[in-house]
Amino acid sequence: MTVCENKDWAQTDLKYIWHPCSQMKDYEELPPIVIDRGEGIYLYDTDGNKYMDVISSWWCNLLGHCNPQINAAVKKQIDQLEHVIFANFSHRPAIELCELLMKVLPEGLCKFHFTDNGSSAIEAAMKVCFQYHEQTGNPQKTRFMALSEAYHGETIGALSVGDCDLYTKLYKPILMDVIRIQGPDCYRCPYGKNLDNCNCECAEHAVKTFKEYGEVTAGLLVEPLLQGSAGMKVYPPLYLKKLRELCDEYNVHLIADEIATGYGRTGKMFAFDHAGVSPDIICLSKGLTGGYMPMAIFVTTQKIYDAFYADYNSGKAFMHSHTYSGNPLACSAAIAVLDILKDGTVLKQANENAEYFTRIIKEKFASHKNVGDIRTIGLINAIELVKDKTTKEPFNSKLRTGYQIYKKALKRGLLLRPLGDVIYFNPPLIIDKKEMDTAVEIAYECLLEVLP
């Protein structure tokens, strides 16, 4: 095979590749940026341009690209064992990973089931939840509840529990029928409350929904504290406590989708840590391997596990599998991540930096006439752009305001990728103050170019 030195990588890409979450026609104007290498929070393309990755490459890169410690761990593992069937067989990296996770997970979660991406962890959790009730004398519990504007992934089951029109609307005819709870909306709070005087009055919708459907519901899925795809919408921990109480009252499993919020993104190891209560099942991915390998895990309680533990012929086993379950390379990356996080220094530093980040973002953006809301949790900061600040009226989505800003920012070496008209930062935890200064400066200049 000959390697053509002057190959036009972008054109060759477009000849073959159908990119995720993209209108491919957009690539006529903005061809794919072909990344050659990464280091820290930076990506370098094949033309030598440098980009600051303040969205952690879709929220998964936790400790920088090509982190030397994770690199070394994966390199070591690849010469030892690349993969093995995970039914009847096991390996040290998976076992060690569970031991390490036990030290940081919310109380009561102790049985680990491995899958290979976030959506499949959600679906596996839903299946286990349904089957639990089936096997414990509640076969009427066949339904799931989820919040308005939820996002839990893209496969049919995960999409069904989701509620972001952009992804779900078209597919409604082939999705399962899910019970929707009107969730918190703190920026446009219908009760006119703010974070200082809020008592999660909006939980009354959950109360009402449980009264009506609690008896037939197997599980409630929730993105704790932060609805990412909905536009980085943040809500208070008290809401989770109220959901926990309702779930207990109606024997409904609380399924925490911590795929985006886990691993320090909200300032604590897990978002549920802010609430002081535990879910019955937690789903992890993204930060789990530091953004290195596709892997996900759901972790559940002894009680749920026990409902499946019986003689084979009772038919109670959880007969669910993915070929790459528990992949040793992914486990080795995940162990390295926990090794880096275990003494708490990274998270402590990230939390200190988070205060600084929010301050400079507010200083820069708050007074702009189209900045409706600035919301923050951990190092995540989101800026919602609106047409009218007083009425909070959004821009016409056809204007693609966020996308215009995205394109400007790319030209200046900043990878933003807004969610609609919500510009956000969700950087690797290792970002430093100088990098924050630069990111905020560039983002603001781009905002001014599009909305002077």
Ligand X SMILES: *Cc1c(COP(=O)(O)O)cnc(C)c1O
The nearer residue to ligand X, 300 or 401, going by C-beta atoms, is 300
Contact 209, 247 (CB under 8 A): no
The nearer residue to ligand X, 37 or 169, going by C-beta atoms, is 169
Dmax over CA atoms of the chain, in Å, equals 70
Smallest gap from Cβ 285 to ligand X, in A, equals: 5
Query: How many residues are there in the chain?
Result: 452
Smallest gap from Cβ 221 to ligand X, in A, equals: 9
Smallest gap from Cβ 119 to ligand X, in A, equals: 3
The nearer residue to ligand X, 97 or 259, going by C-beta atoms, is 259
The dihedral built from the CA positions of residue 90, 94, 98 and 99, taken in this order, carries a sign that is positive
The nearer residue to ligand X, 162 or 372, going by C-beta atoms, is 162
Which residues, listed in sequence order, are joined to residue 253 by a DSSP beta bridge?
219
Smallest gap from Cβ 258 to ligand X, in A, equals: 8
The nearer residue to ligand X, 288 or 450, going by C-beta atoms, is 288
Q: How many CB atoms lie within 10 A of CB 234?
A: 19
DSSP 224: -
Smallest gap from Cβ 340 to ligand X, in A, equals: 21
Contact 167, 150 (CB under 8 A): no
Which residues, listed in sequence order, are joined to residue 414 by a DSSP beta bridge?
52
Smallest gap from Cβ 296 to ligand X, in A, equals: 6
For residues 369 and 357, give the distance between their C-alpha atoms in angstroms, rounded to a whole number. 21
Q: Report residue 332 as tokens.
A: 């080795």
The nearer residue to ligand X, 17 or 366, going by C-beta atoms, is 17
Smallest gap from Cβ 434 to ligand X, in A, equals: 28
Residue with tokens 């795809």: 229
Contact 257, 122 (CB under 8 A): yes
The nearer residue to ligand X, 117 or 370, going by C-beta atoms, is 117
For residues 41 and 416, give the distance between their C-alpha atoms in angstroms, rounded to a whole number. 13
Smallest gap from Cβ 42 to ligand X, in A, equals: 23
Host H or E run for residue 52: strand 50-53
- Write out the residues near ligand X by the rule CB under 6 A: 117-119, 122, 151-153, 223, 228, 257, 259-260, 285-286
The nearer residue to ligand X, 153 or 157, going by C-beta atoms, is 153
Smallest gap from Cβ 286 to ligand X, in A, equals: 6
Cβ-proximal residues to 1 (8 Å cutoff; 6+ apart), any chain = none
The nearer residue to ligand X, 120 or 300, going by C-beta atoms, is 120
Task: Return the SS3 of 425.
Answer: strand
Q: Report residue 122 as tokens.
A: 């959600």
Cβ-proximal residues to 308 (8 Å cutoff; 6+ apart), any chain = 128, 131, 132, 135, 316, 317, 318
Q: Which residue is nearest to ligand X (CB)?
A: 118
